[in-house]
Amino acid sequence: MAVCDLVTKCGYVSSAMEAMPATGKLLANIYCNGHPADCARYIAASVVGIAKVPEDMSPSDDDLAKKILAGNNN
Ligand code: SF4
């Protein structure tokens, strides 16, 4: 268990808390305060930077993370 080091820079969960409080809390518990290394946003951000991660990208969107990483390698 670890707190994500991007938590102050990543706006996803705070946005999700406003739009979908139950979902936002669940995602924060799973990823931000649990297993950030499994978060698709974190994985993408580790390569391209959090500023280039789409704001609405879900922490569970592994397919988009792969596309972002593939695009970064071109
Ligand atoms: S959504 Fe992912 S990148 Fe953003 S704070 Fe949570 S674990 Fe970190």
pLDDT at 1: 77
pLDDT at 73: 53
* Average predicted confidence (pLDDT) for the chain: 92
pTM tops 0.85: yes
pLDDT at 14: 83
Residues with CB under 6 A from ligand 1: 4, 6-7, 10, 12-13, 31-32, 36, 39, 41-42, 45, 59
Q: Scanning the structure block, which residue is given the tokens 């139950």?
A: 22
Residues 8-60: pLDDT tens digits?
A: 999 888 888 888 899 889 999 999 999 999 999 999 999 999 999 999 899 99
Smallest CA separation from ligand 1 atom 5, residue: 7
Q: How far is the CA of 73 from the centre of ligand 1 (A)?
A: 22
Best mutation site among 5, 31, 47, 61 for ligand 1 pocket (most ligand atoms within 8 Å of CB): 31
* Helix axes 40-48 and 62-72, enclosed angle (nearest 10): 10
* CA distance linking residue 74 with residue 66, whole number of Å: 13
Domain regions of the chain by residue span = 12-72
Residues 20-30: pLDDT tens digits?
A: 899 889 999 99
